[in-house]
Amino acid sequence: MASERKITCKNFLDELTDYLDENAAPEIRVSLEAHLAKCPDCWVVYDETKKSVQIVQKMDCRSMPADVRYRLQSALEAHWKKV
């Protein structure tokens, strides 16, 4: 069994919200962290997304509301189309 799954930036973005919600499986978390360590572009997206999530959580929401999640997804997709 491979210790590290190869993931792409697309995979990373697909898993990012689960990762931040702490819903991702441990082996996925390891893969995402490995990807973060070597991909500065995803690190920027991760950092911005994490801050957004923290703001939402401060507003007393346990998980991201669907509209926030949707806007975030759109912003991320726009970001990745520019790269």
Q: Which residues bind Zn ion (CB under 5 A)?
A: 9, 39, 42
Length of the chain, in residues: 83
Distances (CA, A) of 10 to 21, 77, 81: 18, 9, 11
The helix/strand/coil state of 22 is coil
CB of 45 to Zn ion, least distance (A): 8
**DSSP letter (8 states) at residue 49:** H
CB of 79 to Zn ion, least distance (A): 11
Sequence-separated (6 or more) residues with CB below 8 Å from residue 65: 56
Question: 42 or 53: whose CB is closer to Zn ion?
Answer: 42
CB of 61 to Zn ion, least distance (A): 27
Question: 9 or 75: whose CB is closer to Zn ion?
Answer: 9
Question: 28 or 56: whose CB is closer to Zn ion?
Answer: 28
